[in-house]
Structure 1
Amino acid sequence: MAALRTVPSRKRGPPVSTTVPTEVDRAAAQPLHRRILFPPSSPAETPRILHSSAHETLDPLILDLIALSLRAYVTPWYNGSISRDPDKAFLQAVMAVLIHVVQALEVRLAAVDWADVLLAELPEVLANHYRDWDSAVERAGGGTAHNLSVDEMFHSLQPHIAIHLRQAAEGETTARHRVTPEVDRVYLRALVDRLLKLLLPPEDYRSDTERAIVREIIVAVVFGTVFNRVAQPWFIHGLIAKQLEAREAERAVMEKALSAEDRTASTGLVDKALTALLSLPLLLASLASLASTFSALSSSTRTTSSNLSSSPPPHQSLSALLLAILPSSAFLSQLVYLVSLPLAFFSSQLDSFLAQSVTEHVCAASTVKAAMEGAIKGMFPNDGWPAPKEDDPDEEAQDELRRRCEEALARALSPFLPSLLFPRLPPEPPDPRIHLARHLLRPLACHTANVHLFLSIVDLVVGKVFPELIVAPED
């Protein structure tokens, strides 16, 4: 009978894997920067970079950017065909120096009033850039300009010690112009050397070889790429076109999804009225919150005004930029005059609101994260490796990029704007918005103007982050 005794059955779970993870599996599970900068069995902890509370979000991205840059630009020439760094000690030493530089930059960037820079000083630079371009176009080729081209006239209106013009060689991408701009390498080397003195650890800056290598990499690769390629009109046109076309595609997908929801939804008139009634308390609460926000901003007006006292008020700088970019017209002049009247009463609250918006949104960790993710994807698009160098497009391809940029910007503009801003519209092109888009993009079609603009922005940012480099003007 004992043999017939039944044994209660047990529920069997999923089979347990007895496979021991290999070294390859453990290495693949590590973050990207760990796989590049550290050996698989390294017990070293990942260093903390930022001192702010956003270090958990931004530190991995900064380390990934450092790791990918070292793998692409340092490991090939250091190791070569024979690995001289099996323990990756050299990469970790370079990483430690770069972390020191990032930490020094963090302290300096936190001390800058970015609301003042983005709302007051940068719009002023852009407004002057548009005004000088319009003046160069108006005066070029005349008797007073001695038949100077637009590039030469603009260069004379915005003289810079680091920029000079040379005759464009045959076959260059700027051969359609008589001259092409060049940025003085001596100026860039002196600027970068002063920056390295303020950012590098003292023992690294005292090494002449290390300082010279880092300086030449920054001058030749970073600044050379920016001024030789990024400042080209076709590059800027292509960048703007890609951004606008991507947003247009996202908007089309969202509109398609909303239209599908509208077709499937069966909300009646009573339901909509009930929803509107239920939303009234939320609307009143939001209005009360907005009123309290403006009252709080009004109480802090003196503090904000003292912070922005070194430059024009933000609303004035933005208004001046708007007038410089848009075509001059009676409608725009009357509109600015009418808007300026109420702004005179609420200018302090408006400036404080704009400064607070920049601090909360533009300088937020999420914005920095999105910018760093875009930089990593743009610099290393081929599965973590740089894209192969492509030849500059020919004139036909450049014209195609310009056309795409103009059409994408025209589609983003309201169809009523051209008739309001232009007293007379030419018969061509058929869409008046393209005529307005060309007017908005007018200085970007000149390589010389783009180089001047980029170097002006570099001077502005360097002067804010490194104020000790600013030389006081002589009386």
Structure 2
Amino acid sequence: MSGLRPASLHSSPAVYTPVPISTLPLYRRLLFPSLPQTTQPPPIFNHGSPELSIATYELLAVILRSHVSPWYTRLTRDKTFIPEVTSAIAHGLREVERRTLAADLPLLVYTTLPALLAQHYTDYRAAQLRHALSPSTSVAECFHALQPHIALTPESTVVNPEYLRQAVEFVLKACMSKEDWEAETDRTIVREVLVGPVLGGVLPRLAQPWFLFAMMLGVLGRGKGSKASAKSMSKAPVTSMRQMLVLLIGALHALTSALHSVVTLMQSISRFLASLPTRKQYSSQSRYYASNLLMLVAIVLDLPSRLVSDLLLSYTSIIVALLQPLLDRILSHVLYAYILTSVNISTIVIRANTILFPNGVPAPPTIEPPHEQQVLTRQLLEARLVDSLPSALSSIIIGPTTEARSRTAHDILQPLSDAGCNVHLIMRLLDAILLSLFPELAADSPAIPAPSAPLGSLPEEAKVDSDSESNKEGFATPLSH
């Protein structure tokens, strides 16, 4: 540590030497101005890692410095206000953490969210048909008629700020302590920062097709290009017994290697299944997580519209139905053990800080790329979607010819190509998340119990009933399952 002076054989024991305040991290200088340098800030999350708390503090510091300090420092030189706001936000985040650990996250991730995305694709294609029959009405207007939302209007990506304000107000009331809630100034500042710069700036950007396509292209990375042509080269014809013997030995070696790989895979599966928690930690009934994901893939790829892919879907559905209890356990285990981890959440927080506040200042208004660049991005994404599947599966799932594959890739991205429709999907996903963490938004429900396991491990039986995701005045209804 830079503040520790190393001890030598001829010196006294090491003593702590304070470092200049200007060299301290921003969150230490702004959020904890009176905290001694030898004392670590209190962790934000009860079950999170120290890295997650630091990343969250850094994001909070940049937000408060950008949207609160500029006008507050003109009113007073009091430096206790920002730490008080930080304390109120930290208390609210701990309550959100508690509710997240108690929520039925597998039901949200594997059932509600896939159903909303599948419904988006279905309604968009229906809106396209309506638009074809009535060209005077745009696709966005037809889509809005199928998925009306109180916070949205047809052909607009602007979310009603009053809707967001009421939702945030409810969340703050549920998460803040009584003292923080009664402090109207603190509560109002936190609410307006969340409604304006955070949600008001992020949600419209997420609805832009070019932004979504750029993110998807970044996830897929560089394309594989053409398939390995060396493997498709024709081999020289066999002209001697020696060559036949060499081919026979090679075939036996390949068969032995394949059998060894199968045995190794079965052993790995056995060890993985043995490492899964016991059955009593899961619901006694199947949750059909794998079936929900399979149906989402079928709708996105429009598999029922092609005979071969529809047959493949039918056979796969039978296999998934037979393995449903096991797949439910595996998917739940994967969600808590490999997806919702402190490392992944820390990475998301750091990435959000980098995107929203590059170099510590608010990002400039996003400039929409030229139309030619948007078209090029989509073409690259379509090519990489086709290229991401093995040739054998690609010919069965998305079409046997190059034209059919390109058409299928185009159809996959088309429901995400209208910002007016995408903002409906974004808001419905936001509503579903809020209703999972705050079921009292939808209906009267018992208090959320305390979590029994830290983030990254499997909780006990889910406490939130799926019926709690019914409609509440002012909120769109997530699909019930």
- TM over 0.5, yes or no? yes
After superposition, the Cα gap between the structure-2 partners of 1:463 and 1:287, relative to the gap in structure 1 and judged at 3 Å, is same
Deviations 1:409-435 (A, max 9, x none): 34434455554345686xxxx776443
Residue 141 of structure 1 contacts residue 147 of structure 1 at CA under 8 Å; is this kept in 2?
Answer: no
1:2-401 aligned within 5 A: 25=20, 28=23, 30-39=24-33, 42=36, 45-52=40-47, 54-80=48-74, 84-85=77-78, 88-142=79-133, 147-165=136-154, 179-244=155-220, 247-248=221-222, 287-288=266-267, 290-291=269-270, 293-294=272-273, 300=279, 303-306=281-284, 313-327=288-302, 328-382=305-359, 384-401=360-377
| Equivalent position of 1:264 in the other structure | none
Q: Distance in 2 between matches of 1:92 and 1:417?
A: 56
Higher relative contact order (CA 8 A, sep 6+): 2
Percent of counterpart pairs with the same letter? 31
- Does residue 430 of structure 2 align to residue 452 of structure 1? no
After superposition, the Cα gap between the structure-2 partners of 1:22 and 1:397, relative to the gap in structure 1 and judged at 3 Å, is farther
Deviates more, 1:204-213 or 1:285-294: 285-294
| Equivalent position of 1:465 in the other structure | 437
Count of equivalent residues: 405
What secondary structure is seen at the aligned counterpart in 2 of 1:351?
helix
Q: Distance in 1 between matches of 2:16 and 2:340?
A: 42
Which letter maps to 1:135?
Answer: A
Q: Distance in 1 between matches of 2:262 and 2:396?
A: 34
What secondary structure is seen at the aligned counterpart in 2 of 1:164?
coil
Which letter maps to 2:126?
Answer: S
Structure 1 residue 41, shift from structure 2 partner: 7.9
After superposition, the Cα gap between the structure-2 partners of 1:158 and 1:473, relative to the gap in structure 1 and judged at 3 Å, is closer
Residue 32 of structure 2 contacts residue 41 of structure 2 at CA under 8 Å; is this kept in 1?
Answer: no
Structure 1 residue 131, shift from structure 2 partner: 1.0
Which letter maps to 1:67?
Answer: A
Structure 1 residue 330, shift from structure 2 partner: 0.9
After superposition, the Cα gap between the structure-2 partners of 1:212 and 1:25, relative to the gap in structure 1 and judged at 3 Å, is closer
What secondary structure is seen at the aligned counterpart in 2 of 1:305?
coil
After superposition, the Cα gap between the structure-2 partners of 1:452 and 1:392, relative to the gap in structure 1 and judged at 3 Å, is same
Q: Distance in 1 between matches of 2:301 and 2:67?
A: 44
Which letter maps to 2:72?
Answer: Y
Structure 1 residue 468, shift from structure 2 partner: 0.9
Which letter maps to 1:325?
Answer: V
Q: Distance in 2 between matches of 1:396 and 1:342?
A: 45
Which letter maps to 1:84?
Answer: R
After superposition, the Cα gap between the structure-2 partners of 1:155 and 1:26, relative to the gap in structure 1 and judged at 3 Å, is closer
After superposition, the Cα gap between the structure-2 partners of 1:78 and 1:434, relative to the gap in structure 1 and judged at 3 Å, is farther
Structure 1 residue 117, shift from structure 2 partner: 1.3
What runs of 5+ residues in structure 2 fail to find an aligned partner? 1-7, 229-252, 444-469, 473-481
Structure 1 residue 76, shift from structure 2 partner: 1.9
After superposition, the Cα gap between the structure-2 partners of 1:83 and 1:431, relative to the gap in structure 1 and judged at 3 Å, is farther
After superposition, the Cα gap between the structure-2 partners of 1:75 and 1:135, relative to the gap in structure 1 and judged at 3 Å, is same
Q: Distance in 1 between matches of 2:193 and 2:278?
A: 49
Deviates more, 1:88-97 or 1:150-159: 88-97
Q: Distance in 2 between matches of 1:467 and 1:353?
A: 26
Larger Rg: 1
After superposition, the Cα gap between the structure-2 partners of 1:449 and 1:92, relative to the gap in structure 1 and judged at 3 Å, is same
| Equivalent position of 1:268 in the other structure | none
Structure 1 residue 181, shift from structure 2 partner: 4.3
Query: What TM-score do you get using the length of structure 1 for normalisation?
Result: 0.74
Q: RMSD of the alignment, in Å?
A: 3.7
Structure 1 residue 332, shift from structure 2 partner: 1.3
Structure 1 residue 349, shift from structure 2 partner: 0.9
Q: Distance in 1 between matches of 2:266 and 2:400?
A: 42
Structure 1 residue 48, shift from structure 2 partner: 2.0
Query: What is the aligned counterpart of 1:420 among 371, 374, 396?
Result: 396
Q: Distance in 1 between matches of 2:281 and 2:377?
A: 46
Deviations 1:413-466 (A, max 9, x none): 4455554345686xxxx7764433222111110112111100110110000000
Structure 1 residue 391, shift from structure 2 partner: 3.1
What runs of 5+ residues in structure 1 fail to find an aligned partner? 1-12, 166-178, 256-272
